[in-house]
Copies of this chain bind each other. A is one copy, B any other.
């Protein structure tokens, strides 16, 4: 390892982060070893510490980069959906649903989140939900903010789940590994999101003071 390929600090950091990210997907943050990252980046491990201060610094930088990339892509995708003409809405929504899956970023992001890294989710969520509401109102003027919030929550949770164990669950449910059947599911979901109007989402939710949520065996409010 006598070769000393000098690079700029930015480039060095990038190669280190790339190597770390590719390893992170397999072993997780707690399993990330500086020696492994150094080997993949083709350098000696103290070089990593020189650029990031410590192992923790590397993880923090990694978390930041992944978070920024993911939120940028997501907001872009929703933005595109907003500008899309009606006949392309389904495709646009599908694209939004596909955004987090790119590569293994989502998996890495969730893993970092599990490990306690300050995630970039919270800071950008307001923007995302605002854009989503704007989108919903563009084809359903009666759409309420509450229901948008709930839909965004449901979809976000599902996307997190998808990133983690989507492949296994889909396989267990009989969805083939073919891209086709997965595209079907995404299309199904996208169409539902576009079809459901606020009336269908309201159901009997108006009751809010029953408050017997933990012991639901008693009477169930269903009137309105």
Contact = CB atoms under 8 A, between A and B. Distances in A.
B126 A179 contact: no
Contacts of A119: 165, 168
B192 A203 contact: yes
Contacts of A214: 179-180, 183
Interface stretch (A3-11, A45-53, A135-143, A205-213): A205-213
A2 interface: no
- State the main secondary structure of chain A at its contact with B: helix
A35 interface: no
Tell me how many chains of this kind the complex includes. Answer: 2
Interface in A108-162: 110-111, 113-115, 119, 121-122, 125-126, 129, 149-150, 152-154, 156-162
A121 B154 contact: no
B164 A160 contact: yes
Interface residues of A, number: 84
Nearest to A125: B172
A31 interface: yes
A54 interface: no
A174 interface: yes
Contacts of A90: 212-213, 216, 220, 222
Given A31-B30, A179-B213, A180-B214, A191 B173 contact: no
5 contacts: A76-B224, A80-B220, A87-B220, A90-B213, A91-B216
Q: Considering the complex of A and B, which 10 residue pairs feature the smallest CB-CB distances, nearest first? A: A91-B216, A160-B161, A157-B161, A125-B172, A30-B31, A30-B30, A183-B213, A161-B161, A157-B158, A191-B203
